[in-house]
Amino acid sequence: MSRAVAVRELALLEQAYPQAVTALHYDSPFTLLIAVILSAQTTDARVNLTTPQLFAKYPTPQALGAARLEDVESIIKSCGFFRMKAKNIVAASRALAEQHGGEVPGDRELLEQLPGVGRKTASVVLSVAFGDAAFAVDTHVFRVAHRLGLTLGKTPREVEDDVVKLVPRGKVRFAHHWLILHGREICKAPTPLCGRCPVNEICPSVPIVARALRAAKAGSGPSRRGARAAAARRPGRSS
């Protein structure tokens, strides 16, 4: 994918999702941080159903940091991986209370020192809560960036570096949301809805998806499941 076409794709996504913001409900950097940690391997909708009860009982880092793990686990159980998540949010809250005066630091290095906080979580907090030019790569972003030909990166960090080079610095913190929303609404796994896609005229994956779906419909070549797998495969990459 040429840089000019990649930049055009991103501009079309910006037009399609002009009000793109996080779907997580939060009212402070602290509640955002905890919500992002909880969102791993589950949906934002599920997290939004869980956090009201959690923050009603533990409204501050001091309160959550002093909580019993069993009590926190019972509240967040529906979010999946609840034991590890409970351990992380309690430990992170305790660290905020003891090391940062109960405030979420607006510094990547300090954020990534908190339990349960990696680069992706730190990037979301920095971009959403602090307005920094940070770009988080989750599964939606990773998939959509490859399908659009924005990257051939094999790791989230490589994808991040490739996409950030294509976006003006002032828009980097929004680009994450363009790709996430596009992945949720149209560029879905395993089969994207190319007919509804605002960038389908220039997207390199459109003919790949079309061929796979035609083969499945005709009953020749790959099976329907195989066709879906082919449709989800990244452009320019072998299986």
Question: Do 238 and 154 share a structural domain?
Answer: yes
Q: Look at residue 176 in the predicted model and tell me its pLDDT.
A: 94
Q: Look at residue 237 in the predicted model and tell me its pLDDT.
A: 38
Structural domain count of the chain? 2
Q: Look at residue 238 in the predicted model and tell me its pLDDT.
A: 33
Question: Do 196 and 230 share a structural domain?
Answer: yes
Among the candidates 103, 124, 152, a domain finishes at 103
- Tell whether 23 is covered by a domain: no
CB atoms within 10 A of CB 199: 23
Query: Which 8-state DSSP code applies to residue 131?
Result: -
Helix (H), strand (E), coil (C) string for 132-172: CCCCCCCHHHHHHHHHCCCCCCCCHHHHHHHHHCCCCHHHH
Question: Do 49 and 7 share a structural domain?
Answer: no
d(CA 110, CA 96): 10
d(CA 173, CA 79): 26
> Which residue ranges of the chain lie beneath pLDDT 50?
221-223, 227, 234-239
Query: What's the CATH number where 42 sits?
Result: 1.10.340.30
Q: What is the pTM of this model?
A: 0.85
Question: Do 234 and 141 share a structural domain?
Answer: yes
CB atoms within 10 A of CB 232: 20
Q: What is the pLDDT of residues 128-164, one digit of tens each?
A: 999 999 999 999 999 999 999 999 999 999 999 999 9
Question: Do 220 and 149 share a structural domain?
Answer: yes
- Tell whether 214 is covered by a domain: yes
Question: Do 157 and 193 share a structural domain?
Answer: yes
Q: Look at residue 214 in the predicted model and tell me its pLDDT.
A: 84
Which residues participate in catalysis according to the annotation?
120, 138
Q: Identify which of 102, 46, 41, 32 has the alpha carbon closest to the alpha carbon of residue 75.
A: 46
Q: What is the pLDDT of residues 201-215, one digit of tens each?
A: 999 999 988 888 888
Domain of residue 3 covers 1-17+133-239
- Tell whether 180 is covered by a domain: yes
Longest dimension (CA), the chain: 64
Question: Do 4 and 97 share a structural domain?
Answer: no
Question: Do 145 and 232 share a structural domain?
Answer: yes
Query: What's the CATH number where 198 sits?
Result: 1.10.1670.10
- Tell whether 24 is covered by a domain: no
Please tell me the number of Cα atoms within 13 Å of 114 on its side-chain side: 37
- Tell whether 125 is covered by a domain: no
